[in-house]
């Protein structure tokens, strides 16, 4: 049941190139604030969870999708879910599988909280979505560093070969970064250098969240 008179949640978007440190940054803030604020106060949503469902397509077709284009995401569903949180309703957040390139049958229930961290590459490209965010943070990590981190992460965590990472990087990841992600930096309120371990940046965002949580 929606709770009446609960204040609108603060939506904090964390954007930037793939492997720029968005997840690490968001997760670090979440993990460090959770004991202080409690699970009813802070939540994380990943834009990647909203990659379109492709279970109807054969695997050989799924690998060909351009995952670095805004249209690869079901932003309408993400936007609807943010609206539900504003209305104090819980959401069923999809669970995505990078190995199979589609959603799983599972979902995660996310309850309404005062603070919601939302992280992903294309969050600022869609005006409807962008306008929902109260604070917009851009991770400005050099692209060569992102590539090195992506190679390490995707071989270990996403079941990718060096060949597939290289091919995808040249055909879509790098050109789409210049077409969509980097130009959206203009919409950011805060630009963060050095990736997900920038301690001062983590502390500044935590301090702002503490203030908003009072």
Ligand X SMILES: Nc1ccn([C@@H]2O[C@H](COP(=O)(O)O)[C@@H](O)[C@H]2O)c(=O)n1
Ligand Y SMILES: Nc1ncnc2c1ncn2[C@@H]1O[C@H](COP(=O)(O)OP(=O)(O)O)[C@@H](O)[C@H]1O
Looking only at the bridges linking them, the beta strands covering 135-139 and 102-110 are unpaired
The answer to whether residue 147 forms part of the interface with ligand X (CB under 6 A) is no
Q: Of 140, 135, 151, 131, which is closest to residue 181 (Cα–Cα)? A: 140
Q: Are 154 and 31 in contact (CB under 8 A)?
A: no
Coil vs helix vs strand at 15: strand
| 20 annotated ligand-binding residue | yes
Report which DSSP code applies to 6. P
Interacting positions 80-119 with ligand X (CB under 6 A): 98, 101
- For the chain, report the end-to-end CA distance as a whole number of angstroms: 24
Least distance from C-beta 137 to ligand X, angstroms? 14
Rounded least distance, CB 104 to ligand Y, Å: 19
24 binds, among ligand X, ligand Y, none (CB under 5 to 8 A by kind): ligand Y
From the list ligand X, ligand Y, none, pick the one residue 101 interacts with, judged by a Cβ distance below 5 to 8 Å according to partner type: ligand X
Give the integer Cα–Cα distance in Å for 206 and 185: 21
- In the complex, the residues that contact ligand Y under the rule CB under 6 A are 16, 18-24, 149, 153, 194-197
Chain residues 18-77 in contact with ligand X, contact rule CB under 6 A: 18-19, 22-23, 48, 51, 67-68
Q: Does 149 bind ligand X (CB under 6 A)?
A: no
**Helix, strand, coil tally for the chain in percent (to 5):** 50, 20, 30
48 binds, among ligand Y, ligand X, none (CB under 5 to 8 A by kind): ligand X
Smallest distance, Å, CB 163 to ligand X?
13
Is 120 annotated in a binding site? The answer is: no
Q: How far is CA 49 from CA 27, 36, 208, in A?
A: 15, 27, 26
> Which two tokens mark 79?
């936007």
Q: Is 213 annotated as a binding residue?
A: no
Is the Cβ of residue 48 or residue 70 nearer to ligand X in the bound state? 48
The residues of the shown chain that bind ligand X, judged by CB under 6 A, are 18-19, 22-23, 48, 51, 67-68, 98, 101, 121, 173
């Amino acid at each position: 049941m929606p709770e009446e008179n609960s204040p609108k949640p603060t939506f904090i978007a964390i954007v930037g190139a793939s492997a720029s440190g968005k997840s690490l940054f968001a997760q670090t803030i979440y993990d460090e604030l959770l004991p202080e604020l409690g699970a009813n106060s802070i939540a994380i949503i990943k834009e990647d969870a909203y990659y379109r469902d492709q279970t109807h397509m054969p695997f050989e077709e799924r690998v060909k999708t351009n995952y670095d284009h805004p249209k690869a995401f079901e932003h309408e569903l993400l936007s609807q879910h943010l609206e539900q949180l504003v209305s104090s309703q819980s959401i069923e957040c999809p669970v995505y599988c990078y190995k199979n390139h589609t959603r799983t049958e599972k979902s995660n229930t996310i309850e309404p909280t005062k603070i919601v961290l939302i992280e992903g590459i294309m969050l600022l490209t869609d005006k409807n979505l962008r306008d929902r965010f109260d604070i917009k943070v851009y991770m400005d990590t050099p692209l060569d560093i992102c590539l090195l981190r992506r190679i390490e992460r995707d071989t270990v965590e996403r079941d990718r070969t060096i060949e597939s990472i290289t091919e995808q990087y040249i055909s879509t990841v790098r050109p789409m970064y210049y077409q969509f992600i980097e130009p959206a930096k203009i919409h950011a309120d805060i630009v963060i250098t050095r990736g997900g371990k920038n301690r001062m940046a983590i502390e500044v965002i935590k301090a702002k969240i503490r203030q908003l949580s009072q």
